[in-house]
Amino acid sequence: MIKKIYLMLKTIFIYILYKIKYKQRIKIMLLNSIKGKIKIELEKQSFLNIGKFIMIKGPVYLNCLKGGHMIIGNNVFFNHNCSITCADKIVIGDNCMFANNLVIVDHDHIIIDNEIKQDIESSSVCIGDNVWCGANVTITKGVTIGNGAVIGANSVVTKDVMPHTIVAGVPAMEIKKTCMNI
Q: What is the pLDDT of residues 103-126, one digit of tens each?
A: 999 999 877 777 777 788 999 999
Say whether 105 sits in a helix, a strand or coil.
strand
β-strand partners of 109: 120
Average pLDDT in the 36-51 region?
A: 94
Model confidence at 180, in pLDDT bands (50, 70, 90)?
low
* Amino acid symbol at 40: I
**In Å, how far are 66, 87, 103, 110, 112 from 116, measured between CA atoms?**
20, 17, 21, 6, 7
Annotated catalytic residue, options 69, 80, 109, 164: 109
Active site residue 164: no
**In Å, how far are 22, 74, 102, 155 from 133, measured between CA atoms?**
29, 16, 8, 9
d(CA 150, CA 138): 13
Looking at per-residue pLDDT, the higher value among 37 and 71 belongs to 71
pTM score, two decimals? 0.91
Average pLDDT in the 142-167 region?
A: 97
Bond prior to 163 in cis (omega within 30° of 0): no
